[in-house]
Amino acid sequence: MLAQIEEEHYVKLDELISLCRSRLRKCDEDLIRRAFFLCYRAHSAEKRASGEPYFYHPVEVAKIMLEEIPLDDVSVAAALLHDVVEDSDYTIEDLRDEFGEEVARLVEGLTKISGIFANREIKEAESFRKMLLSMIDDIRVILIKFCDRLHNMRTLDALPPHRQVKIATETRDIYAPFAHRFGLGKIKIELENLALKYLDREAYDDISARLALTRTERIAYLEKISLPIQKELTKRGFKFEIQRRPKHIYSIYNKMRQQNKSFDQIYDIYGIRVILDTDDSSDCFGAYGYITQIYPPVPERFKDYISVPKHNGYQSLHTTVIAPGGKMVEIQIRTRKMHEFAESGIAAHWRYKEKVTSADEGIDQLIKWARDLVANANTAQDFMEGFRLNLYQDEIYVFTPKGDMKVLPVGATAVDFAFEIHTEIGMHCIGAKVNGKMVSLQTRLKSGDQVEILTSKNQTPKADWEKFVVTHKAKLKIRQFLNETRRKEIEEGRNIWNKLVAKTKRLFTESDIVKLARFHGLPTPADFFRALGAKEIDSEKLLEEIEPKAEPKPEPKPENKNGVPPVTLDDFARQAREVHGLKADNSNDAVVISGLTNVAHSYAKCCNPVPGDDIIGLVTAGGTVKIHRRNCVNVNNEQILKSPKVVTVQWKPTATSDFLAGIRIYGEDKLGMTNEITHVIVKSEINIRSISLNAKDGIFEGTVILYVKNIEHLQRVVERLRKVEGVFAVERFSNN
């Protein structure tokens, strides 16, 4: 069997064994070799999209794990075997017999979560729970999965564009922030940069090129300002390493978008990291004091993550100083151990402990976080919301009157703080004192605030609370209370309705109830029953409305001066739509046709021209003129353009009609996207004729037909839609 292994595979095995020897505290080399050969046999007939043998992928995953987050020899074996059960005839039992229970359990966990993100709109929470339950069972499952995704991102060029976009979106929205939650700094940065490469290639290439152009200048500048620091710290007896640290591409991209700045306006792309060879964290504060005697610090940019670590265990001092030339330079100061945790996160525990168990503080916190998410989510939507909220948000540190610290996301309010203390306090909070002053419940808190919550047993959550709270716990508890209240009100409303109907001699159909709901300005029967149960509709007056009364013979409807019966509200709405449509489609006062007068014309539905478009007229067989955009595919050929049917047309500068235009939108398929798009259009003072969004493989394609005044009006809404988070492209289209 060994003779069948090609020479290049022996090279890969030697590289793997060499990495194991250098990166692991101890290693069962026989275990690695056996896993290597079984991996080769299982995948020998498979090819990747790039044409490479599939066998290369698990080997590279194992190498990434050894280089980035070295764990142990069992993890290396599991990385080599992670696709074997899914892609071959081998079973978990086979692996258990061959490699033992620990390796088999890791591979089983990886197999269970392999398809979790195959569909962006997962209908059941079970897939998500599987991922976190696997993590609770053995945290190494998720760490190997990160290495698997990183190698897939490094080789994404081989896939077609639509698959690249889908995988890159998953990576940006799920894997990168999840890696951050685990403290895997290096992996998180590379995942973000690679995702940006496929989601906005133009921006990625532009920032990369600019960084490359300024690299020599940047290195020279950082070396210049590092020398005084190096001399001072050496003089003071510190042992240390100074690293020059440029901001990564995705970080610069985000800052440019969030602050609406160009690359040249981003001043803090310079960075220095001082790594002290000491176990005493107080040395970091000493080094900070000496450095800020050389360069003046920016006080509001000082962050102490040593005294108060981030939720993922990250520790470091951050400060920004004003260096020569007025440039702002971020300086990070940490110990060697802190640096290893910052780079490798939770995986660094393996380098400091012989045996890592759930009793380890850092791992225990992650497992508690996972358990809370699993326990509190009733639906896939609840789970995903909590999952994302817990991954993305930065933190603030707030204190109770007794001095207990609570960690909350940036933007958290007094209500979030109340729910963080206890659910019952959150449910009954009526106000808050922040640093001794009364504030409203929706007040945003800041790090260092001391908060006292005031409660009342008569208080209950209000609907508007859900709009301003930011923590998953607060959102979930408020939503559960409101849903339960609504359910009870609907049930009470149905009981009231049944009693009212029993007093009458009428039989009410569902259609009758729909009409009655609309009469009261309510969209659905459920809303009607809720309003009745909440006493928003007077049941006695409702009885008068539905109680049949003897009425005289109906008189004919009064007529207006022209002898025509007045229109109902429905008639009015229908006629208004028809008139508006005619106005948009005909717009007879909007164009001038050269050489022709009193000639009927209309606008081609194949291209829907609007004022500002370059247009052309085409005389039809019926003698009317059809107005096309000059670049319309139906007129844009030499034979038509030279024919006598073509006439010159121009827009009148006084055209005020509304015109139909169509746009096509591509983006990420996520909850609420239709509402976001509609909100942007309505805010642009544009009426919508129709909107349709169709999703597949996590990407949606939508078409929107609009009424616009002119091309500038259309372009404004297009630009605003392009800025909607999750929208990849917006373009005008024809053939409506």
pLDDT, tens only, 681-734: 888 888 888 888 777 545 677 888 888 888 888 888 888 888 888 776 788 876
Among 323, 352, 381, the domain-final residue is: 352
| pLDDT level of residue 114 (50, 70, 90 thresholds) | low
86 counts as catalytic = yes
pLDDT score of 5 more than 50: no
Among 161, 178, 197, the domain-final residue is: 197
pLDDT, position 694: 77
| Spatial CA neighbour of 477 closest among 428, 526, 432 | 428
In a domain, 562, yes or no: no
- Whether 46 and 160 map to the same domain: the answer is yes
In a domain, 451, yes or no: no
pLDDT, position 587: 46
Pair of tokens at residue 464: 């508007």
pLDDT score of 315 more than 50: yes
List, in order, residues 6 or more apart from 410 with CB less than 8 Å away: 393, 394, 395, 396
How far is the C-alpha of 421 from the C-alpha of 631, rounded, in Å? 63
Whether the model pTM is above 0.95:
no
We report the CATH number of the domain holding residue 57 as: 1.10.3210.10
> Which one of 87, 232, 268, 340 is the catalytic residue?
87
| Spatial CA neighbour of 589 closest among 603, 576, 575 | 603
Share of the chain above pLDDT 70, in %: 79
> Which one of 14, 86, 93, 571 is the catalytic residue?
86
pLDDT, position 357: 45
- Whether 28 and 81 map to the same domain: the answer is yes
Our separate counts of H helices and E strands in the chain read 30, 20
Question: Contact at 8 Å (CB) between 691 and 680?
Answer: no
In a domain, 463, yes or no: no
- Whether 225 and 108 map to the same domain: the answer is no
| Spatial CA neighbour of 111 closest among 136, 139, 91 | 91
We report the CATH number of the domain holding residue 727 as: 3.30.70.260
If DSSP codes are grouped into helix, strand and coil, which group holds residue 562? coil
pLDDT, position 606: 78
Largest CA distance in the chain: 108
Output 206 or 594, whichever has higher pLDDT: 206
Per-residue pLDDT, averaged over 653-666, amounts to 79
| pLDDT level of residue 288 (50, 70, 90 thresholds) | very high
- Whether 542 and 644 map to the same domain: the answer is no
pLDDT, tens only, 155-209: 998 888 888 888 898 888 778 887 887 778 888 899 999 999 999 999 899 988 8
| Spatial CA neighbour of 332 closest among 312, 352, 314 | 314
Output the CA angle 92-93-97, nearest 5 degrees.
120
How far is the C-alpha of 210 from the C-alpha of 230, rounded, in Å? 29
In a domain, 84, yes or no: yes
Least confident of 2-16, 369-383, 466-480: 369-383
Output 528 or 559, whichever has higher pLDDT: 528
How far is the C-alpha of 70 from the C-alpha of 351, rounded, in Å? 8
- Whether 125 and 192 map to the same domain: the answer is yes
In a domain, 434, yes or no: no
In a domain, 35, yes or no: yes
Residue 623, by phi and psi: left (phi above 0), alpha (psi -120 to 50) or beta?
left
Residue 140, domain extent: 2-197
**What proportions of the chain, in percent to the nearest 5, are helix, strand and coil?**
50, 15, 30
Least confident of 279-288, 375-384, 558-567: 558-567
pLDDT score of 412 more than 80: yes
Q: How many CA atoms lie within 13 A of 525 on its CB side?
A: 11
- Whether 124 and 228 map to the same domain: the answer is no
| C-alpha dist (Å) from residue 273 to 15, 267, 599 | 31, 17, 76
pLDDT, tens only, 424-453: 999 988 888 888 888 888 889 988 788 998
| pLDDT level of residue 6 (50, 70, 90 thresholds) | low
List, in order, residues 6 or more apart from 418 with CB less than 8 Å away: 425, 426, 429, 432, 453, 455, 474
pLDDT, tens only, 619-634: 877 778 888 888 777 7
- Whether 535 and 575 map to the same domain: the answer is no
- Whether 599 and 724 map to the same domain: the answer is no
Among 601, 634, 651, the domain-final residue is: 651
- Whether 576 and 514 map to the same domain: the answer is no
Output 335 or 639, whichever has higher pLDDT: 335
- Whether 248 and 334 map to the same domain: the answer is yes
- Whether 231 and 344 map to the same domain: the answer is yes
| pLDDT level of residue 585 (50, 70, 90 thresholds) | very low
In a domain, 704, yes or no: yes
- Whether 43 and 115 map to the same domain: the answer is yes
How far is the C-alpha of 175 from the C-alpha of 142, rounded, in Å? 10
We report the CATH number of the domain holding residue 256 as: 3.30.460.10
In a domain, 686, yes or no: yes
Pair of tokens at residue 355: 């045996």
Per-residue pLDDT, averaged over 307-320, amounts to 83
When divided into structural domains, the chain yields a total of 5
